[in-house]
Structure 1
Amino acid sequence: MSNALAHPMVTAYLASVEAEAAVLSDDRRRDLVADLREHIESVLPQGFDDAAVRQALDRLGSPREIAAAAIAEEPGVQPLRPESSVRTAVTLGMMVLAAPFWVVGVGLVLAVVAAVRIWRSPSWTDRDRRMGVAGALSPLLVTPAAAVLLGSSGRLGAAEVLGAFLIAAVIPLAVAVHLGRGAARLRPQAA
């Protein structure tokens, strides 16, 4: 393999650095990854093998260490911190369980509490927080829209209402899975 940046270990390493540095601005994160790309290209000899790639990446340090150093250099940027798995599960569970209960008002309360907990959590980037709040509140728009679509034949019975609630639960569930995975990646750091 002649292109060091196309090597699977290098692409995985750079992707990991980018994920670990998610709290940095887009420009700063791009600069960090570009600097690493340049360095990796310069240190790998022609005709390199897997052992040379592994050695070059080991000398750089772990993606978490590189990201932590870059974050520490940025004023006002706080690293992501893990929450307990129970707190994360409760928050995301409230978000998912809120969808079927919007009609009785309990869902609205659960969704708002989940949205506030997501927004205040140190476990997610601003982008993930925005996605979480939108996911928690999405049934407010999706449930009536789905009910209108399902009831377009002129009949809005129990099956159509149940279908609307199930459709509305898909977005919070998908967002909860995404946020849960992001929070789980932080937990080994706490150990």
Structure 2
Amino acid sequence: MSNALTHPLVRAYLASVDTEGAVLPDDRRRDLMADLREHIESVLPQGADDAAVQQALDQLGTPREIAAAAIAEEPGVKPLQPEGSVRTTLTLGMMVLAAPFWVLGIGLVLAVLAAVRIWRSTAWTRRDKRLGIICALSPLLVIPAAAAPFAFARGLGSAEFIGIFLIAMVIPLAGAIRLGHSAARLHPHAA
């Protein structure tokens, strides 16, 4: 690998193209990245200064433009589109707040609604959507698994219930944070 690919501007550029092209199928994204690396290596001499590197990258186009062109060539693939922050916050809030309400039966409804909203969203890749849905529905397994030791040992009191539901909130909260970061990168003022 030449110095051209290890230059910080090139690494940042390639990472940005990879992020922008996250909706592409994995094999297509790998091909795109390999082609870009090969092209950059061919046009940049070893030891190129920052100005030469920036000029070569500017001639390629922005990472968003490159990813958009690749996405346009791929049938059935749509680019990620930002959603309103209120919609995203509502979806992620339902995801996290579902856990404490499982005991009332409302939690399941909230988790399913969050899962449907995540799946229908235009702000996340399929991978992010799968992760979000798994996290939203995780209390289905976490609550019984966390309750079993207490039930067999000494029974379930109010303190144990609170602890179990706090434990059940950890996975949805981590998933919501991840999805929040993914959605924020689509907004121009984010980051």
Distance 2:140 2:170 in 1: 13
Kindly report which structure 2 residues correspond to 1:47-62, keeping only aligned pairs within 5 A, or say none: 47-62=47-62
Cα shift at 1:157 = 2.0
Question: Which residue is equivalent to 1:24?
Answer: 24
Query: After TM superposition, which residue ranges in structure 1, 4 or more long, deviate above 3 angstroms?
Result: 149-153
- Whether the aligned pair in 2 keeps the contact of 1:150 and 1:164 (CA below 8 Å) is no
Question: Which residue is equivalent to 1:65?
Answer: 65
- CA deviation profile, 1:137-165 (whole Å, cap 9, x unmatched): 11111011112235553342222221111
Letter in 2 for 1:130: R
Q: Which secondary structure state, in structure 2, belongs to the residue aligned with residue 108 of structure 1? A: helix
Distance 1:89 1:16 in 2: 25
Root-mean-square deviation over aligned CA pairs: 1.5
Matched, 1:10 2:10: yes
Please say which of residues 171-180 and 51-60 is displaced more in the overlay: 51-60
Q: 1:163 to 1:74 in 2, by over 3 A?
A: same
Structure 1 segments unaligned to the other structure (5+ residues): none
Distance 1:135 1:150 in 2: 23
Q: 1:164 to 1:36 in 2, by over 3 A?
A: same
- CA deviation profile, 1:51-98 (whole Å, cap 9, x unmatched): 222221111111111100110111111111111111010011011110
Letter in 1 for 2:46: Q
- Whether the aligned pair in 1 keeps the contact of 2:4 and 2:47 (CA below 8 Å) is no
Structure 2 segments unaligned to the other structure (5+ residues): none
Distance 2:19 2:170 in 1: 25
Cα shift at 1:110 = 0.6
Letter in 1 for 2:122: P
- Whether the aligned pair in 1 keeps the contact of 2:92 and 2:180 (CA below 8 Å) is yes
Count of paired positions = 188
Letter in 2 for 1:117: R
TM-score, length of structure 1 as denominator length: 0.93
Cα shift at 1:125 = 1.0
TM-score, length of structure 2 as denominator length: 0.93
Letter in 2 for 1:70: A
Distance 2:26 2:37 in 1: 16
Question: Which residue is equivalent to 2:93?
Answer: 93
Please say which of residues 16-25 and 39-48 is displaced more in the overlay: 39-48
- Whether the aligned pair in 1 keeps the contact of 2:91 and 2:118 (CA below 8 Å) is yes
Distance 1:89 1:152 in 2: 38
Q: 1:50 to 1:149 in 2, by over 3 A?
A: farther
Please say which of residues 141-150 and 61-70 is displaced more in the overlay: 141-150
- Whether the aligned pair in 2 keeps the contact of 1:151 and 1:160 (CA below 8 Å) is no
Question: Which residue is equivalent to 1:133?
Answer: 133
Question: Which residue is equivalent to 2:113?
Answer: 113
Letter in 2 for 1:21: G
Identity %: 74
